[in-house]
C-alpha cells in the first residue's frame, strides 16, 4: 500500500501543470484623479482595482498578444483660445532676439545683427583680423580686400551690440 501511495504522489507531481515562478499577482490601482499605481498588495477602498496579467509570454508561442486597447479613447484636451504656448525654449544667452531661422539666414548672407553671439559672427565672417578687449567688452575687426574695415562690438555676455 505504501508503494502504491508513493507512486500516486509521484504521478500527480509529474502530471500537474507547472506554475511559472515568475508570475505574480499585480494590481493596477486608479484613484479619483486618474493617477495610476501598480502594487502586489491590492488597492485601497477608494481606488478602482484591476488585476494585471504579468506573465512573460514565450516568443513565437503562436498566441497573439495585444499591445494596446484600441477600443479605449484617450483623454482629449481642448486647445485654449490663447494660441500657441511654448513650454520650453533654449536660451541663446543673448536675449533670444533672433529666431534660429533668422540667425541661419544672417550667417549665410554674412550679415551681422544684434543678438548674434561671438560664434555666430565667426561662422558668418570667419576669424577676425584683430581683437581688442576693454572693460570686459570685445571688438572684432575685419579688413576686406578692398580696404574696407568692419568693426563689431560685443557686450559683456559676448553678444553683438549695435
How many Å apart are CA 26 and CA 42, to the nearest integer? Answer: 8
Return the pLDDT at 21: 46
Q: Which residues of the chain have pLDDT under 50?
A: 18-21
Q: Which residues pair with 92 in a beta bridge?
A: none
CB 142 within 8 A of CB 125: yes
Task: Output the pLDDT for position 136.
Answer: 83
Q: Give the residues across from 140 on adjacent strands.
A: 131, 152
Amino acid at each position: 500500500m505504501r508503494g502504491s501511495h508513493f507512486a500516486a504522489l509521484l504521478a500527480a507531481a509529474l502530471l500537474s501543470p507547472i506554475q511559472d515562478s515568475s508570475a505574480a499577482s499585480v494590481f493596477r490601482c486608479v484613484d479619483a484623479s486618474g493617477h495610476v499605481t501598480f502594487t502586489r498588495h491590492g488597492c485601497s477602498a477608494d481606488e478602482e482595482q484591476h488585476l494585471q496579467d504579468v506573465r512573460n509570454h514565450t516568443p513565437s508561442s503562436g498566441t497573439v498578444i495585444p499591445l494596446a486597447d484600441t477600443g479605449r479613447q484617450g483623454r482629449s484636451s481642448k486647445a485654449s483660445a490663447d494660441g500657441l504656448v511654448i513650454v520650453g525654449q533654449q536660451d541663446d544667452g543673448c536675449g533670444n532676439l533672433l529666431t534660429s531661422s533668422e540667425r541661419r539666414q544672417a550667417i549665410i548672407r554674412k550679415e551681422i545683427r544684434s543678438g548674434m553671439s561671438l560664434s555666430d559672427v565667426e561662422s558668418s565672417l570667419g576669424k577676425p583680423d584683430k581683437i581688442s578687449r576693454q572693460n570686459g567688452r570685445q571688438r572684432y575687426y575685419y579688413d576686406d580686400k578692398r580696404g574696407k574695415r568692419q568693426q563689431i562690438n560685443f557686450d559683456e555676455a559676448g553678444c553683438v551690440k549695435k
